[in-house]
Amino acid sequence: MTPTILPISKPAACDEPIVVSGLGMITALGRDRETSWRGMRAGKCGIGWVRSVPGLPDDEWFGAQVDLPSEGDDSELKAIRLARIAAREALTDAAIDWHQVDASRMGCAIAGHMGDIRGVATIVDALGPDAPRFSDSDRHPWWSQILPSTACDTLAHEFQLGGPRISHSTACASGLISLLQAVRAIRDGQCEIALAGGGEAINALFAAGFRTMRALAEGDDPREACLPFDQRRKGFVMGEGGAMFVVERLSHALKRGARIYCTIAPGVMLSEAHHLTGLDVQSETLEHLIEGALQQTALQPSDVQYINAHGTGTLQNDAAEIAGISSVFASCLDQIQVSATKSMIGHLVKAAGCVELAVTILGLRDGIAPPTLGLQQLDPSCHFNCVPGTAAERRYQHALKLSLAFGGHLVGTIVSRWNQAGSSYAYPSRRAA
């Protein structure tokens, strides 16, 4: 299909709400949104021993891997395949009618990614005939190994999206930042609707770097590897998966009769000039971030009932989040629930923020706060409810998602449940089993 090239008109800024109308997700707990979500609600653990990752020995590393079906193009990076699976589900969920939606006004914002260890084959090829050889099965196209925007470009081409393409590489905040940049592109009038999110696969180079930093959990039992907010914390566990969203201006969604999950705020992004990989455990920047997110939505701390924490299970991250949340929500600390879902699906690095936001939105939909798995010995400095072990039923209206990334990238946004009469909304009349 050759898209029609339309004249570019002056962008009209959007001051109406931006809504989520489609959601796709794949994790170690399931190859689709609802299977993954049911696993989290049930408190299942997707973490095991890593196997079949190029460059890593089997059964020596913890990880939350996604087993993809054997069919498909194995010459494509796994991170891109995961993003594509989530994107197709999100577009189907949003019931996009390409005769109704102007693809030239649809943006694409997908988190940047790395190549994998097989990218060495491409480099070796370029060194000349005397360099070591690799088999054809060890090669991926050079652009997917070198250009971190390949997932964004690939999906924009596949769905013929002519709006702005955005691909951020901001460590563990990349997925959430990419989504929020799509929201801001809509608000700026650059597009009316966008596909946004990210995918991530376990990467040997990342894994080696994180192990050198002593950030990865080690031990004998994968099910007790990632323990956010627990005194027994050991570090984080790498995970795989992806989440994609369809976001659009409210009037655009209503005009096409879309089912709406929630509204999403533009979010707040701040830089912590403390240390390249360390966090300021006094959390002054995090406090400003949370306060800014509340001011942006004109909400009071008591209006937020659930927080999905970054929750890596490292001492510095736990200390920073406990201090920041405790300070801002001091007057209502006993009323909020805070969970860290990395305990079930691992740390998806560049896709972590968008996958965890998807979990947060599904919690809004069904009135469920997902659990922090394995939590038995709560950090004594933590005085809020971390939803230990078992999901909690609670009908909440507003939720906060936080991402705290290496490099000092801090980002947070608030999503609010959509339940307005007279429009479609993505809530079942009965909760899914």
85: domain CATH number is 3.40.47.10
**Domain count across the chain:** 1
What proportion of the chain, given as a percentage, has pLDDT over 70? 82
State the burial class of residue 55 (Cβ atoms within 10 Å of its Cβ: 0-12, 13-18, 19+). Answer: middle
pLDDT in tens, 320-346: 999 999 999 999 999 999 999 999 999
pLDDT in tens, 190-249: 999 999 999 999 988 888 888 887 889 988 998 899 999 999 999 999 999 999 999 999
Within a domain: 5: no
Within a domain: 10: no
Within a domain: 227: yes
Q: Give the tokens for residue 357.
A: 């936001």
Within a domain: 1: no
Q: Give the tokens for residue 287.
A: 């406090």
Within a domain: 432: no
pLDDT in tens, 397-408: 999 999 998 767
Q: Domain range holding 166?
A: 19-122+135-417
pLDDT in tens, 99-137: 889 999 999 999 877 656 555 555 445 545 554 444 544
Within a domain: 429: no
Q: Is the dihedral of CA 83, 50, 206, 77 positive or negative?
A: negative
Within a domain: 304: yes
Residues linked to residue 388 through DSSP beta bridges, in sequence order: 372
Q: Kindly report the number of other CB atoms within 10 A of residue 69's CB atom.
A: 8
Within a domain: 129: no
Q: Kindly report the number of other CB atoms within 10 A of residue 300's CB atom.
A: 11
**Global pTM value:** 0.88
